[in-house]
Amino acid sequence: MPRGDVPRDAHTDADDDTPIIRVRGLVNRFGSQTVHEGLDLDVHRGEIIGVVGGSGTGKSVLMRSIIGLRTPNEGRIDVLGVDARSDDPEDRLHIERNTGVLFQDGALFSSLSVGENVQVPLKEHHPDLSDSLRYELALLKVKLSGLPANALDKLPSELSGGMRKRAGLARALALDPPLLFLDEPTAGLDPIGAAAFDNLTRTLQQALGLTVFLITHDLDTLYAICDRVAVLADRRVVAVGPLDEIEALDHPWVQEYFNGPRGRAARQAKDRPVQGH
């Protein structure tokens, strides 16, 4: 099975304590609006970290800065042992091959079947693979993401919203990346579908040894699967840690979000098993 170029850098050793993502002094501005000012964040290898914050706090902007889709105004970002802002093509390739991204809307190519969508990164990074092997790998990822085999030949428009998210997840996993980014993966799903996706995320993280950077507003997701939570407010990360530490933070947004009615309900439900299928 094709893999990325993880072994090329000592910092990608699974026993290394170096953060898999290290952000220091990040500044992101849009004209006169400053979204991030001196933002710092470490993401540890093998964890699921939930990133939360109110509207306009720049959760997706942070993710896009980390994966190289946006160039920050200032700051340093290290991903998988290399500088994410490097102009070196090898550094960019190293990050691309070892990260998978599920965007909020799935971002599937509407004119391609699910199988063809999953094969896009394989064709780009492993053009030497035979058509039959690419097909088999796509089928494997589709099944791994909880879709039936017959979804492989369907167009995105023929799938439900939940199935499109799983198809997007299958494509994000195509290159067996150690680092997975999920942007609001349960948005728009009913509670049963959202819980099933949470269960799938945790199962894949444990089985594949993934590190998961998860942007969400879903309190149930935070309590069900996240090891730590990073809170974006006041243009920076105001706190990062386990949920019990975050709940105790004396910050207006944190208190309203985590200790309001929805937060209390999610906390009460956290000991109930996540429903999957």
Map residue 205 onto helix, strand or coil.
helix
The per-residue pLDDT for 1 is: 43
Same domain, 70 and 184: yes
The residues of the chain scoring below 50 in pLDDT are 1-4, 7-15, 274-277
> Residue 21 corresponds to which tokens in the numbers above?
């993502």
Which residue reads 């199962």 in tokens?
Answer: 203
Q: Is the residue at 276 inside a domain?
A: no
Indicate the residue among 174, 201, 216 that finishes a domain: 174
The per-residue pLDDT for 11 is: 40
pLDDT digit string, tens, across residues 115-131: 999 999 999 999 999 99
Same domain, 29 and 74: yes
In which domain, by residue range, is 129 found?
110-174
For 210, phi then psi, to 5°, come to -80, 155
The per-residue pLDDT for 10 is: 36
Same domain, 19 and 150: no
Dihedral angle computed from the Cα positions of residues 22, 23, 24 and 25, in that order, rounded to the nearest 10 degrees? 180
Q: Is the residue at 277 inside a domain?
A: no
Alpha-carbon distance of 200 to 198, in angstroms, equals 5
Number of domains in the chain: 2
Indicate the residue among 174, 195, 220 that finishes a domain: 174
Burial class (CB in 10 A: 0-12, 13-18, 19+), 18: middle
Which residue reads 């109930």 in tokens?
Answer: 272
Same domain, 142 and 51: no
Indicate the residue among 119, 146, 174 that finishes a domain: 174
The per-residue pLDDT for 87 is: 87
The per-residue pLDDT for 270 is: 66
Q: pTM score, two decimals?
A: 0.89
Side chain identity at 145, as an amino acid letter? S
Residues in the chain: 277
Same domain, 93 and 208: yes
Alpha-carbon distance of 194 to 259, in angstroms, equals 21
The per-residue pLDDT for 17 is: 80
